[in-house]
Amino acid sequence: MNPTTDLRGDLPSPEQSLKICRLGPGSDSEELAQTGFDFWELVKDDFDEKIPRRTAIFVKEDDFSLSFAYPSNFGSIGWLVDCREVTTYDESPVAEMRFGEYSYPDLTGRHLARNTFHFGSMEYRPSLVRREVVLSNVGLEGVETFAQSGAGAFSWAIDLTCLNHPPYVFSRKLYSVISAGGTEATVRRHDSMKCLEIDLNGARLFIASGFHNFGVFRSTEDLLTDLEDGALSSRRRSGRHLVLEHELKLGYHERTRVSFGVSTRSQTRARSALKDTFPERALRSKWNNWFRSLPAPNFESIEDRKAYYKCWWIVRSNYYKHPRWGKTVLEAMPVYRGYWQWGLPAAQWHSSLNPEIGPSFVRTLLNLFLKNQRTDGYVPHAVYLSEKVPGESWSKQSLIQTPHIPWVALRYYYDTKDFRSLRRWYPKLARYYRYINESRDDAFLRLHLWAILASYDTGLDTTSAFQRVTYGESGAREKFCYPAIFAAERCRFERAMARIAGLLSTGEAGEWQRHSELTLKSMNDSLWDDEKAWYGVLHEDGSLDTRVGVDGLFALAYGLVDGARAEAAKPNFKKLLGRYGVFTVAPDEPGFCEKTYWRGPAWSKSCSLAMAAAVNYYPDLLKTVKDRLVRFLLRYPSVWECMSAETGEIARGDIGLMATPVVSSNLGAGEAIGALLTYYGTDMFSMDS
């Protein structure tokens, strides 16, 4: 089988890819001349109008800003701009910009025309999108470039070529439309400058362009009425739509450029972006310099290299400079402006290796989580930076998620030797441990394990083995159950605390170690299924429900399984290895759903757990796990939450919402980085110094 076709059908062969990424003749880039490798070109993704969600393709206004833009409907040459501080899964941009939506006159020479478009090739590189655009009803085609400008704004240029054959001359007015996403907006012109300021009910958008006229309209109907005769007569200053007029006169094969500088910050940035004629050179240099600063394994294939640096691209795309908390990496630019406990390992992995962020980022995160610890010891499972007190809203509830904090704190200490932070965190973590014991074990069966009150406690939100405790199954809902994931997590929590106690000389290391041994024994006695050869879920009624899936992977990933059990579990482990990553539930198990979140689809998280398990017990399967992860990462532009491990189709949540791309900085891309580094010899799950 051709390995390139096997990974992704539209990828070039390794030899072709290397040729593309090597220094080409005529290049004047000094750093490329020195290294001979163009990472920026390597990670390029081609895309088309069939991409499942348009926010898979996005350009940030500035590396550390919240504002970004992504393609609008593919029937127009347009971009949606979002600069909200609080976002959701729903795409609700503050404005939409559409180039050349109308033209005047039409073929009769008397009326307004609605232009029609289609795209040729579409390419996505870090901070830049390039598309071949074709206007079907008029004699123009060209190349659109939408990029981040060095001014910290958007640079948007459409290079047009006239296809009218002599003696016909292209002489028309093109009308571009900027539409407010909410209620009416107010437009203000900065005199002596071709720059307009749009007040979008709190947000602002500055548009600089060489337009000849402009008008503002309340509705599309008003807009069409005014433009019918090819004359912008509106003098309104508030409305839903701003129209910019560009007059073009071109002969056969003559070319022109229509440019826009766009900023959510200032007219100065917008005007500077308008003058940024060729942002590509600066972007290529900036990204290549950063890519070269990262650790570089000795990759076996060009596909591995591309997948690895693509994940780093996603991490960098989620940068944000918070006015209070400083440089940070958000969980997900389009959706989540915060952090989850279960994403902390991946956050530690990528930040510790990232010179632009550094391990201090982990200190900030752990401080954010532990700062809002309740008096009973509870630590919020998530913190949102949009809150006045991050974590305040979740502190009013009792959801916990996988409490990775101790071993993440330990790894942070190894990176920094920050003894002071470790000493400050230790008593808080001990209180957290007591809270989980009291609320998740002492209140139930006292097994020296941790129970859950709903599947959301684990982060494996909808996995089928937890159906009974979350929604009810066959009409009955239980109050609690003991899953394997929390048994493994409790044991790892205790082992990490033993290490920390030893470093701090508290005299408690032995007690923590004793508790970890009790947890391990209870996990094997209560949750191991000899017949199924996998760890199961102990239900409230005392029955053991063993479904092969990600729940049982945690013990293998953490190295808690003895050799005999690990060998017995190997056939089940192999069942989880799909074509596009690692199944969260094996296909032959009850409740398996191929394309519903944690009920079967592959996630980066399931892949990283499988990689750690293979390192610990199944070295002969390491390459298989790695290849499936790479195929997952290269399936689409961006890094996605989850997809069918069999077909690569994007998965959905229980309520039908399609999984989101770029919900991946700290979890998806970070987990994948950790998995690839683990494959190449650096065990990212290790708690050793």
Task: List, for residues 618-636, the tens digit of each pLDDT value.
Answer: 999 999 999 999 999 999 9
Task: Check pLDDT > 90 for residue 202.
Answer: no
Phi, psi of 606 (to 5 degrees): -65, -35
User: What does the block give as tokens for 46?
Assistant: 């081609």
Residue 388 binned pLDDT confidence (cut-offs 50, 70, 90): confident
Nearest CA to 226 out of 175, 273, 187 is that of 175
Q: What is the mean pLDDT of the chain?
A: 91
Q: Distance from CA of residue 513 to its chain's centroid? A: 37
| pLDDT at residue 6 in the model | 33
Task: Find the mean pLDDT for residues 331-342.
Answer: 87
From residue 545, give the alpha-carbon distance in Å to each of 164, 442, 526, 552, 617: 71, 22, 11, 11, 24
DSSP string covering 233-273, please?
----SEESEEEEEEEEEE-TT-EEEEEEEEESS-HHHHHHH
Task: Find the mean pLDDT for residues 172-184.
Answer: 90
Candidates 3.40.50.2300, 3.40.50.720, 2.70.98.10, 3.40.50.740; correct CATH number of 42-284? 2.70.98.10
What three-state secondary structure class fits 549?
strand
Nearest CA to 483 out of 430, 428, 509, 444 is that of 444
What is the C-alpha separation between 517 and 290, in angstroms, rounded? 44
CB 587 within 8 A of CB 548: no
What is the C-alpha separation between 270 and 417, in angstroms, rounded? 44
- 16-25, 101-110, 348-357: range with lowest mean pLDDT: 16-25
Please state, for a pLDDT cut of 70, what percent of the chain lies above it.
94
| pLDDT at residue 166 in the model | 93
CB 43 within 8 A of CB 11: no
| pLDDT at residue 24 in the model | 33
Q: Taken in order 51, 52, 57, 61, is the CA torsion positive or negative?
A: positive
Residue 28 binned pLDDT confidence (cut-offs 50, 70, 90): very low
DSSP string covering 306-364, please?
HHHHHHHHHHHHTEEEETTTEEEE-S-SSS--EEEGGGHHHHHHHHHT-TTT-THHHHH
CB 499 within 8 A of CB 687: yes
Who's near 446: CB < 8 A, 6+ residues apart?
Answer: none
Task: Check pLDDT > 70 for residue 16.
Answer: no
Which of the 8 DSSP states describes residue 211? -
What three-state secondary structure class fits 386?
coil
Task: Find the mean pLDDT for residues 298-308.
Answer: 97
What is the C-alpha separation between 22 and 32, in angstroms, rounded? 8
| pLDDT at residue 21 in the model | 38
The residue count of the chain comes to: 689
- Write the pLDDT tens digit of every residue in 225-254: 999 988 898 888 999 999 999 999 999 999
- Write the pLDDT tens digit of every residue in 455-475: 999 989 889 999 999 988 877
| pLDDT at residue 325 in the model | 86
| pLDDT at residue 230 in the model | 87
Task: Check pLDDT > 50 for residue 403.
Answer: yes
Please state, for a pLDDT cut of 90, what percent of the chain lies above it.
79
**Helices assigned H by DSSP within 396-477:** 405-416, 419-437, 467-470
H or E segment at 24?
none
What is the C-alpha separation between 419 and 417, in angstroms, rounded? 6
- Write the pLDDT tens digit of every residue in 243-284: 999 999 999 999 999 999 999 999 999 999 999 988 999 999
Task: Check pLDDT > 70 for residue 446.
Answer: yes
Task: Find the mean pLDDT for residues 380-397.
Answer: 87
Task: Check pLDDT > 50 for residue 93.
Answer: yes
Residue 31 binned pLDDT confidence (cut-offs 50, 70, 90): very low
Q: Which amino acid is at 418?
A: D
| pLDDT at residue 9 in the model | 34
Nearest CA to 566 out of 633, 612, 634, 519 is that of 612
pTM for the full model?
Answer: 0.93
| pLDDT at residue 191 in the model | 59
C-alpha angle with apex 163: 161 to 167, nearest 5 degrees? 125
Who's near 409: CB < 8 A, 6+ residues apart?
Answer: 366, 421, 422, 425, 429, 496, 500
Which of the 8 DSSP states describes residue 441? I
Task: Check pLDDT > 60 for residue 192.
Answer: no
What is the C-alpha separation between 106 and 625, in angstroms, rounded? 58
What is the C-alpha separation between 58 and 62, in angstroms, rounded? 12
Task: Find the mean pLDDT for residues 374-394.
Answer: 90
Task: Check pLDDT > 80 for residue 597.
Answer: yes
